[in-house]
Amino acid sequence: LLFLLLAGSLIFHLREKKYRRTKGLLFSLAFLFVLRLYLANGTITRNYWYYDCLFQPAMMLLLMGMVLLLLDVGGVLKGTREERILSATALVLIWITPLGSNNYTMPVINNLFLVAPILLRLFAREWKRVMDGQRPEWHLSPLLAAAGLILVLLLQGSLFHTVYAFQDGEGGEALCAEVSHAKRASGMRTTKERAEQLDKLFSYLQKEGLFGKRQVLLFGKIPGLSYLCEMEPAIDTTWPDLDSYRERAFEEALHRLAGKKEKPVAILHDEGEEGVHTEAKRKRLQQFLREEGYLEEYRDSGFHVYLPRR
């Protein structure tokens, strides 16, 4: 894309104010060629079951937008005071949103509903100035690239919205099955394999009289399990393996549970977050379960249910 921007700027600089439509058409065809390359090498994908279908074009647009925003805040683009304040606001939103998040720059995409209107206003302002002859014609190169990225995002985002389900069917599996052993999952669809796994787990919990009766301590990519099982979380989170949940906080939460007369059910899943402290947390949890006399009473499809020794 950077090469396209440089080549496009050179093309628009040649014979300025002449053959503008022809040069714009050539740039658009070149953009489509670059887009085809991105699809071929996986930079942009047609996997609408996961974020990579729109992550890269969103980051490209944001990087281009940040350059324009910085130029506007610095007074280079000669915007009004109000316009520069808006640009500064957008920059602050882009920079502070990822702080403290497990998802790195993904929250910036979530905040596009705040940032995008400011960016679009800035792009439109600069486009008008080029058309009015207040800006050199080569400015059309980044502006046309931004317009192309916006169209790509609108298309990819719309398809993503119709297909995506959080942490489910990420390999393109059909979400065609329902869980029959949990009222709170009524009407919700998942993969056939996952529905069978959950039905087995819920059937066991109901058979043991635990479903909806006891507190639960969860670990792994199963934070919604406490809701589906109607079991109150035993600590202040249902997703302790996230990086944003500090190892010390987890240690303190387990310490408060230690020695309690009525101990919670512990449900672990093999699939967890690949965080910096995930393995250390898992080891600390296993140590807690040993010290508190827990036994593994159920194991199936990555699920492990631990109950205190009776």
Each residue's pLDDT tens digit, 55-82: 999 999 999 999 999 999 999 998 899 9
265 phi and psi angles, rounded to 5 deg: -75, 140
What band does 21 get if pLDDT is binned at 50, 70 and 90? confident
Taking the alpha carbons of 227, 229, 231, 237 in that order, is the dihedral positive or negative?
negative
Could you tell me which residues come within 8 angstroms of residue 175 by beta carbon, excluding any fewer than 6 positions away?
A: 165, 168, 169, 189, 190, 191
| CA-wise closest residue to 73 among 83, 60, 62, 61 | 83
Tell me which residue range forms the domain holding 41.
2-163
Res 297 pLDDT > 80:
yes
**Count of domains forming the chain:** 2
Q: Are residues 57 and 156 in the same domain?
A: yes
> Do residues 109 and 55 touch, judged by C-beta distance below 8 A?
yes
The answer to whether position 193 is within a domain reads: no
Q: How far apart are CA 99 and CA 106, in angstroms?
A: 11
Whether residue 60 is found in the same domain as residue 156: yes
Same-domain status, 110 and 256: no
Asked if residue 177 belongs to a domain, the reply is: no
99 and 8 in one domain?
yes
Q: What's the CA dihedral at 303, 305, 306, 308 to 10 degrees? A: 170
The answer to whether residues 157 and 227 belong to one domain is no
Q: Give mean pLDDT, residues 252-278.
A: 84
My answer on whether 14 and 151 are in the same domain is yes
Number of Cβ within 10 Å of residue 131's Cβ equals 12
Residue 76 lies in a domain: yes
Lowest mean pLDDT among 114-118, 151-155, 169-173, 206-210: 169-173
Mark whether 51 and 113 lie in a shared domain: yes
Q: Does one domain contain both 30 and 130? A: yes
Closest CA to 234 of 196, 208, 260, 211: 260
